Amino acid sequence: MDNIMLVLATLVAVAILLWSAWVTLSYYNQWASNKNDVTLFDVMWSATRSTILLCLVLNLVSK
């Protein structure tokens, strides 16, 4: 049962990390091309959120 939970937690962690990376890179792409009203603050805030989320998820998975 523990192995199933670990696999499930790992899959969720990977999905969250991929989503966070996609959002951050989308913000960066919009900021770099000046398509929308995305500012450098939005890009940095998204990267910070992704980093914090990564730390939390890895902390939970490692326990």
The predicted pLDDT at position 51 comes to 87
Query: What residue ranges do the domains of the chain occupy?
Result: 2-62
Global pTM reads: 0.71
Give pairs for 4-13: CB < 8 Å, separation 24+: 6/61, 9/60, 9/61, 10/61, 12/57, 13/57, 13/58, 13/60, 13/61
Q: Assign 63 a pLDDT band (cuts: 50, 70, 90).
A: low
Can you tell me which residue has the tokens 């990267």?
47
Mean pLDDT of 45-56: 87
Instruction: State pLDDT tens for residues 15-44.
Output: 888 888 899 899 899 989 987 888 889 889
